[in-house]
Structure formats: C-alpha cells, structure tokens
C-alpha cells in the first residue's frame, strides 16, 4: 500500500481538499473553505497545514468564533446544504464560543464542520492555559460541551484515528435526514504528530446525495387520506427548498387545488403572488394561512419539523384533522401521528400526485377570500403612520412609552411600514436574512418573496447574532451580483456584530438594517402581554426611582458602522429611507449600515394564533392570573401529540 507521511493536521486539510458531492448528475467540491480564528490549539498544527495544503480551499479570518460559525451556517443554508465551510478555533473559550452556533446548525439541520483545538492528548503539560479540570474525569475538555448540540462528535487522540473519524463526519454532513453540526476536536499535540497515511485516503471522494424514493404502500395510504379531504392544506417546509423541489411542490398544489402555508424555512420556495400561497402559518403566520388551517381536515406537511411556531403549540389544527408527512427523516415524518412518506420531496410529490388520480380539493372561493383579506391587511401594515395623537393602542403605559420614544429618538416610523418599504424597494433577486426578535414574525407575515430562495431565515434556534454573520455567509454563497439585506434588531446587533469587520476586510457589501427601537421589543411584548411590568427589556438609563425608567438610550449604530469602515445612514423618515436605499445601490465594495429608528410596539401580532408559554399559576399580580386562565383555555383545545 502506497503511503505518504503527513501530520494529522496536514492529512485533515488534504482530505477536505478532495471531498466532492454529486446530486442530480452534478458534481462539485463540497468544502468551500475554512474560517479560522487562530489561537493556541490551532495556530501551529492546523495553521501550518492550511498554509501548506490548501489549493482550491479558501481561508478566511474570523473575528468571533460564534459569528464565523454562523457565517458558515448561512452559507450552507443558502447553498441548500450542498456546500459547506469548516470553522476552527483555539482551545477553551474560543471553542466554547462555537457551541451556540453548533446548536443553531443542528436545530436547523444545516451541515457545518467545527474543528476546535483541544488540550494535550498526552496530558504531560496539564493543566494548560484555558484547560478545564474535572476531578472526576480528566478526559473531559471544553469540547465535550459540543456533544449535546452536534449530530456527530469525535476527538482525534492518535493521528491514525483521523481516517475513520472523517469518513463518519462526512457521512453525517451529507445525510439530508440527519445532518447538522459535526465536531472533530483536535488536540494541539496530535495536530503536529506524523503518520504514514494511505494515499488512497486522499483520492477524490464523491458523496452521492441519494434521493430516497417513497414506498408504494406509503404512497397509497397517503393518497387515500388526501382523497377523503374536504378542506386539505399543504405546508411548505424547508425540506422543499433543500430538496430543490420548488417546481414539484408548486405543480402538486396547482393540479390538486390545495392551498399552502409557508414555514420560515420554506418561504421562498414558491413566489408570494401564487394564487394558492396563503403566506406564513402558525404563531408568526398571517390570517390567510391560519384561518384555512383551523378548518383543515387533512394537512400535508412537506419537509417540515412541525415546530411549535408552525403548529401554534399544536393548537392551530382540529383534533379530528389527519396528517400526511413527506420527509427524508423518519423521525420528522412520524410527527403529529401522521401517515409517513419517508422520501425525498422531489421524488415523492410527483408519485403522490399520480396516485391521487386527478383529485381536486373542493374549495369554493375560500382561498381567494383569505388571500384578499390578508393583502388588504398587508397594505394597511405598510402604510401605518404615527403621531402624538395616534400611538399603539395596547395600554396607557405603551402609549406613554411611544410618546417618550418620539421625544428621545426623534422618530415616529412604524416597523411594519419600514419593512414593507424595504421589501418593495429591493431588487427582486436580492436576499433578505434574519433570525431573532420581532422581525422574523413580521417577515414571515409581510415579506413578499419575489424570486426563489431570496429569503434566508434562521428560526429553528432563533439565535440572536446570526443576522450579520449570516449575511456575510449568504454573500459568499450568492456572489457580488446581488445584494444581501440583514434585518436585525438593535438587541441582536449589540450582541454580535463582529463579522461586520470581516465584511469590510473582504470588501463584501452587505446591507445591515438595524431596527432601532431602544428595546428588546419582542420579549417586551411577551412580558407585558402576559401581565408583567417591563423589566430589563427596554434600553433606558436608570432613573431616579432606581429602575430602568429614564430616557431611551440613543445609541448611534451608524457611527459604529462608520468606525468599522462601512457607509452608514441614520433613518428617521421615509425620505431618509429612500435616500439610503438609493445611496446603498451605488456602493460596491463595502458594507452599509442603516440605523433605522422605529417606534416600539409598531410590529405585527396575532392573526388567529397562540403560543404556549410559561404563564404563572400563582401571583400577587391579577394580570398574571388572567393570562394563566387564557393559557388554560387554549391548552384545552391543543392536540396532545
């Protein structure tokens, strides 16, 4: 057997260079590159290997470990899981910073390869800098924290272990049913240890993305259930996009006349103006999808995980409703006690359509009425204006807060108005990205996807800080011909915007739209909506009463962007927004920051949904008890499984 002597790290990089993926007759490199934040643990062994062994792999410099991993996640998501970026950090806190991102990837079934440096396998210099010592088990390091949030985990304590570990790693990364984060911990001493590796290990390796075909009996059972339906409903999940079943899903809906609601991950698989598209469904859904869903007797979920936001905590659908689920994952296909069709959506939908034998859903105008009602509401949301005499009609405290905001921030823009305007002013092929706060709800309801795959929302983990890092990942994926708009709340911007500097460094134009309402508005809504007073959810100075009741903190996010090297705009009026959008179009080689001052409580809410939260059963506050009674009323009507 022919061998080549390499260090473990050199072998790792050479292996990454030769991984390819094949699907639908197309073949291309699977690993785009590596994002690195060097430190002890990866700067020497792996750093030397990257310098020596990279040929087509790109190497980027990260600024924050969580942020750079989010960049990799968004890249893979935009590439429909058919390309990945690996990320590597030092030992200790550098590795720990990536745990949150690993959880984000796994919750969303997005492949990302995480390569954290690790403490010495030989243990001779223990405890090294940043090493955790667990007295009951000296084999534990920070990297064991990845076990709970990864689909596959391994630690290379001998250089020859790399071979079996990487084969298992790529088995997981290329498995549509079980993909997610993969962690391969690399002890810093082992990285530099040499071994005579078989040359065959580094030959071009093609991972075939097999499209699982549906079982005939499952198709027959599913068809029988659908044929019995009087009010069927389709749910378009992320699996439709990852399978690239856009056309098959649309044709299935058209030929059967079955309307569909969109999940966050599925939005953008079919354009917003399709006559059967009811829009977002569930807690952050719109009236069109939710009203039809409440009356549906058969729900056909395609590539959805049925999160509580999709099902309104299992309250949205009738107890008597039956489910048919098409999913590559058997685990997901069995949810909601469904008839499972464990198959690739692109393969299964045409076969199921044929088995239906010309079935047509017996709707008589309900779909058109639901869409007409919602688009009328959408027009209203896009045109809301506020003045001192017209403030959010929730309670006196919110009205007072709104007036205070106008005084302190010199703006009375509504969040929905701004969001609608940006949506319509963007080029139709530009991509919007978001993740946390009130913006995902507003976007699932309001955002009109005018081209396919132009919507990249991370809502499986709803991780604050994904928005800007993810925008950079999307930019890497789509190139420079189209723009990426990051929709980010001020809270998320404060939490993590480090990769904005990377975008400056790489001459990548991303447009960061900071919705600045001087609060964690989404959580403030949840807090006060369930009977509590505001506590730590508004960005105010501490007042004379000892509480955070002073003036709003007028953070100038535009100046933060300028300090990094971005072009920045402060937006207080619609004219400001139009000028900023026009100015941003002229920028080519650096990021743009919009500091958009928007009123508190000017986001969307409701539309026939419910979200099960931890309401308080005992309280001195009667408003808490009222909220708990409402909780009990809804729980009665929720499905149990």
Integer-rounded Cα radius of gyration of the chain = 25
Structure tokens at 84: 């990945």
Per-residue confidence at 538, pLDDT binned at 50, 70, 90? confident
Which domains occur in the chain, in start order?
Answer: 3-208 (3.40.50.970), 216-375 (3.40.50.1220), 383-597 (3.40.50.970), 611-641 (no CATH)
Q: Please tell me the predicted confidence (pLDDT) of residue 255.
A: 98
| CA triple 373-378-380, angle to 5 deg | 100
Q: Number of helices (H) and strands (E), helices first, in the chain?
A: 25, 23
Tell me which DSSP letter residue 146 carries.
G
> Mean pLDDT, to the nearest integer, of 253-269?
98
How far apart CA 438 and CA 456 sit, in angstroms, is 16
Distance CA 109, CA 31 (A): 17
Higher pLDDT, 390 or 455: 455
Is-contact 34 88, C-beta < 8 A?
yes
Average pLDDT over residues 187-206: 97
Higher pLDDT residue, 54 or 392? 54
Look at residues 343, 353, 299, 351 and name the one whose alpha carbon lies nearest to residue 321.
Answer: 299
3-state secondary structure 290-339: HHHHHHCCEEEEECCCCCHHHHCCCCCCCCCCEEEEEECCHHHHCHHHCE
In sequence order, the 6+-apart residues with CB closer than 8 A to the CB of 637 are 315
Mean pLDDT of the residues in the chain = 94
pLDDT band, very low/low/confident/very high, at 265 (cuts 50, 70, 90): very high
Per-residue model confidence (pLDDT) at position 400:
67
Extended strands (E) in 357-440: 431-434
Asked if pLDDT for residue 238 goes beyond 80, the answer is yes
What pLDDT digit, counting tens, does each position of 343-358 carry? 999 999 999 999 999 9
pLDDT at residue number 387: 59
pLDDT score recorded for residue 606:
85
CA 440 to chain centre: 10
* The pLDDT of residue 389: 42
Name the pLDDT band for 393 (thresholds 50, 70, 90): very low
Instruction: Please tell me whether residue 505 adopts helix, strand or coil conformation.
Output: helix
Residue of higher predicted confidence among 502 and 616: 502
Lowest mean pLDDT among 62-71, 380-389, 487-496: 380-389
CB atoms within 10 A of CB 170: 23
Distances from the Cα of 494 to the Cα of 28, 465, 478, 497, 561, angstroms: 38, 8, 26, 7, 12
Q: Is the pLDDT of residue 62 over 50?
A: yes
CB atoms within 10 A of CB 329: 20
Digit-coded pLDDT (tens) for 400-419: 666 777 777 777 899 999 99
What is residue 501's predicted lDDT score, i.e. its pLDDT?
A: 97
Token code pair at residue 283: 């807690």
Residues 202-219 have pLDDT tens digits of 999 999 988 999 999 999
Q: How far apart are CA 624 and CA 527, in angstroms?
A: 10
What was the pLDDT predicted at 288?
95
Q: Which residues contact 97 (CB under 8 A, 6 or more apart)?
A: 64, 65, 66, 89
What would the pLDDT profile of 422-437 be if each residue is shown by its tens digit?
999 999 999 999 999 9
What pLDDT does residue 449 have? Answer: 97
Average pLDDT on 580-601 reads 95
For 189, counting Cβ atoms within 10 Å of its Cβ (0-12 exposed, 13-18 middle, 19+ buried), the class is: buried
Please provide the DSSP assignment of 85-135 as one string: EEEEE-STHHHHTTHHHHHHHHHTT--EEEEEEE--SS-TTPSPTT----T
- In this predicted structure, the answer to whether residue 269 has a pLDDT above a threshold of 90 is yes
Three-state secondary structure call for residue 425:
helix
pLDDT digit string, tens, across residues 162-171 = 999 999 999 9
Q: Which residue, chain included where needed, has tokens 């419910």?
A: 610
Distance between CA atoms of 280 and 122, rounded to whole angstroms?
Answer: 54
pLDDT at 396: 54
Q: With bands split at pLDDT 50, 70 and 90, how would you rate the model's confidence at 628?
A: confident
Q: Residue 543: is its pLDDT beyond 70?
A: yes
Q: Distance between CA atoms of 87 and 115, rounded to whole angstroms? A: 6
Whole-model pTM: value is: 0.95
Of 156-170, 518-532, 595-609, the range with the highest mean pLDDT is 156-170
Q: Are 588 and 475 in contact (CB under 8 A)?
A: no
- 394, pLDDT greater than 80: no
14-48 pLDDT tens trace? 999 999 999 888 899 999 999 999 999 999 999 99
């Amino acid at each position: 057997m022919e061998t080549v002597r390499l260090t473990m790290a050199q072998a790792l990089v050479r292996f990454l260079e030769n991984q390819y993926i094949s699907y639908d007759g197309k073949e291309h490199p699977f690993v785009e590159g590596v994002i690195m934040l060097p430190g002890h643990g990866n700067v020497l062994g792996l750093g030397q290997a990257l310098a020596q062994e990279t040929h087509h792999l790109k190497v980027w410099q990260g600024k924050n470990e969580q942020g750079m991993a989010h960049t990799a996640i968004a890249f893979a998501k935009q590439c429909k899981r058919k390309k990945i970026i690996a990320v590597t950090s030092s030992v200790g806190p550098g590795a720990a910073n990536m745990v949150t991102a690993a959880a984000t990837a796994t919750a969303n079934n997005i492949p990302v390869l995480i390569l954290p440096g690790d403490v010495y396998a030989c243990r001779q210099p223990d405890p090294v800098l940043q090493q955790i010592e667990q007295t009951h088990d000296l084999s534990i390091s920070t990297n064991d924290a990845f076990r709970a949030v990864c689909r596959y985990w391994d630690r290379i304590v001998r250089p020859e272990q790399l071979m079996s570990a990487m084969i298992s790693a790529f088995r997981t990364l290329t498995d549509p049913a079980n993909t997610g984060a993969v962690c391969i911990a690399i002890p810093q001493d082992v990285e530099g240890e040499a071994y005579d590796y078989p040359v065959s290990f580094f030959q071009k390796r093609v991972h075939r993305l097999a499209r699982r075909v549906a079982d005939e009996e499952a198709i027959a059972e599913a068809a029988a259930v659908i044929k019995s339906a009087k009010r069927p409903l389709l749910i378009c999940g992320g699996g439709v996009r990852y399978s690239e079943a856009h056309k098959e899903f649309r044709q299935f809906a058209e030929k059967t006349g079955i309307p569909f609601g969109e999940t966050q991950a599925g939005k953008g698989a079919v354009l917003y103006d399709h006559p059967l598209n009811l829009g977002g469904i569930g807690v952050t859904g719109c009236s069109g999808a939710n009203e039809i869903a409440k009356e549906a007797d058969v729900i056909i979920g395609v590539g959805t995980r049925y999160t509580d936001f999709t099902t309104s905590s299992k309250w949205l659908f009738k107890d008597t409703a039956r489910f048919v689920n098409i999913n590559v994952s058997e685990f997901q296909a069995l949810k909601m006690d469904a008839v499972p069709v464990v198959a690739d959506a692109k393969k299964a939908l045409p076969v199921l359509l044929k088995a239906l034998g010309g079935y047509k859903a017996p709707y008589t105008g309900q779909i058109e009425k639901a869409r007409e009602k919602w688009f009328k509401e959408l027009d209203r949301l896009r045109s809301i204006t506020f003045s001192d005499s017209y403030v959010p009609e929730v309670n006196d405290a919110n009205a007072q807060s709104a007036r205070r905001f106008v005084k302190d921030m010199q703006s009375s823009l509504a969040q929905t108005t701004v969001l609608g305007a940006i949506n319509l002013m963007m080029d139709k092929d530009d991509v919007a990205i978001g993740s946390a706060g009130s913006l995902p709800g507003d976007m699932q309801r309001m955002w009109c996807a005018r081209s396919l795959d132009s919507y990249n929302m991370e809502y499986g983990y709803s991780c604050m800080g994904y928005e800007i890092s993810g925008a950079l990942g999307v930019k890497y994926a789509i190139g420079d011909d189209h723009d990426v708009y990051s929709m980010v709340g001020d809270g998320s911007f404060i939490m993590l915007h480090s990769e904005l500097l990377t975008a400056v460094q790489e001459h990548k134009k991303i447009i960061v739209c900071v919705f600045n309402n001087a609060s964690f508005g989404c959580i403030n809504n949840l807090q006060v909506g369930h009977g509590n007073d505001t506590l730590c959810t508004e960005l105010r100075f501490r007042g004379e009463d000892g509480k955070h009741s002073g003036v709003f903190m007028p953070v100038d996010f535009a100046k933060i962007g300028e300090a990094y090297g971005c072009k920045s705009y402060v937006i207080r009026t619609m004219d400001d927004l139009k000028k900023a959008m026009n100015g941003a179009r002229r920028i080519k080689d650096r990021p743009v920051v919009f500091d958009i001052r928007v009123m508190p409580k000017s986001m969307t809410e409701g539309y026939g949904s419910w979200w099960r939260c931890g309401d308080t059963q005992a309280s001195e506050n009667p408003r808490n008890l009222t909220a708990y009674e409402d909780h009990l009323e809804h729980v009665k009507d929720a499905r149990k499984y």
